[in-house]
Every structure is written in C-alpha cells, then in structure tokens.
Amino acid sequence: MKIAIFGKRRQSPDDIRHIQALLDRLSELDIFVSVDRHFFEAMSRATGSPLPVDDVFEEDDFTADFCFSIGGDGTFLRTARRVATKEIPIIGFNTGHLGFLAEQSISEAPKMIDRLIAGDYTVESRSLLEGKGIGGKVKAGVSGWGFALNEIAILRQDTASMITVNTLLDGMPVASYQGDGLIVSTPTGSTAYNLSVGGPIVQPTAPCWVLSPIAPHSLTMRPLVVADSHIIDISVESRTDTYRVTLDGRSLILPIDVKLRLRRAPFVTKVVHTPDHNFIDTLRAKLLWGISKRDEQ
C-alpha cells in the first residue's frame, strides 16, 4: 500500500504528537509513505528532525492508493485540487474546526489505517463544478484550475453598488439576481458558503447544484436547486468594469465582458468513510441538532 500525505503547515503540539503516532503506525506496517514538500518541511521544523517518510513530492508528482489530508476542510479542498483527475480516495483527518470534509479525528488515525488494510471502509464520489470564461480575453479555464468541490461564487468587486447576475439554464433564462452576487454550490458545498447565505443543506451524493443569491435586492429571489446535468451560463452587469469570481475561495477578477459557463466536471473527488458513516449523524454532531438546553442542566 502507498499513502500520500498533505496537511496544513501549522499544527498544535497535541496534533503534532498524533501525526507522529500516525507515521509510526504506517512505519510498523511497512506502508510506503510520501509527503507533500511544504507539509514535510513545516513538520520537520516543528519536531526538530526530518519526518520518517519514504519520499517527498511536489505539485502533482505523486501516486498513491490513498491520500491523507491533515487539517480542516480548507486543507481537504487543497488536497482534492492536487489529486484532481487521479481520483485517488481521500481521507480527511481533522485538526481544524467544523470539519464536514475532514471528519476523522486525528487521534483515531492509527485505527483508521487498520481499517484501510482490512478493507473496512466505504468510498463516496463527490461531484465538482467546472467553470470556463467565454468571450473577452478569457477563452479557457477561468483560472489555472477551473474546478470547485464546494462552490463557484460570482461577486461584486470593490464597490458598494450591487451587481446583476444574469443566469441561464441550458439557454433558458432563470433570473437576473440583483445584489451582492450569486453562489453556485455543489452538494458538498451546501454546508459551506451556501449555508451562510441561507441556502439549503443537500445530501452530498445528490445529483444537483444549488443557486443561492447573496443579499438579494428582491425578497422574492430564493435559493434554487437544479439538476447537475444542466449547463449554467452567467453574465454580469455592473457599474464597474470588472467582477470577482471565487472557486473554493480562490479569487480572480474578470472583465465585465467575460461570461461564465458552469457544468459538471468530467471527474469526481472520492471521499473515504467508515462503514457506519451517516450524513444525518454528521449534521446532528456538527450543527448541534437536537441539543436542548434542558440536557445541559
């Protein structure tokens, strides 16, 4: 078995101890371990000695049976970007905060390795959005990496004035969203930016997108769930010459004459779960559903 490890550079002393226990367990089982160079250097400085691994890699120059993401959901998103079309299953070990993607406790990492070896796990496929710029000076991907596991957001750029986001579904006009912008979310991203603007929570494997307006000028503009088989075309009207697009938090500025075309990506991100994983249980735990103040008394 071969494992590729990614992680955030800053870890707490307690998490560093758990990471060392994870590496010790991998070494005991004679599993080949390769580590992203940035994470390797940060952890080596933190521990005072080079991490005991078999290989150090950069960019997408790696192969593996599984990838470990050690951090929060942001780290998981960056790991998914690096894995990309390789479609290597990813396990998220949480050393961050809420952790909808990085849901495994880092303290339980050695036990999770034993489960991998025993085949005691499931793999869930998550859809991604692909965004392309059309017209103007942008004719390829809207950035060097035009894909998003959580969402693509269209936002006003450095002005208090609202923008108008004209949205078409397979060429059919849906709405002209006036306000601060529009979020097009994947099911995975429904618990991220989409949730903060009042969008619905969607089961991660549901074949759909969510269109959620941001601070809409009209109260009749509500979030809309559509099938992920559709192509979404977007054009923006603004008092300025540019607008902002973010893909999982990566931001770029586009000229107002550049339109966007969004569709389902031709590959998926594979997420590893324990067999007893349940999305509803995750929501109850992360969002404290069903917790009563009476229970605390």
* Catalytic residue, candidates 73, 180, 233, 248: 73
In angstroms, the CA 234 to CA 259 distance is 6
Active site residue 276: no
Q: Are 92 and 69 in contact (CB under 8 A)?
A: yes
Going by C-alpha positions, the residue among 149, 160, 102, 157 that lies closest to residue 248 is 149
Catalytic residues: 73
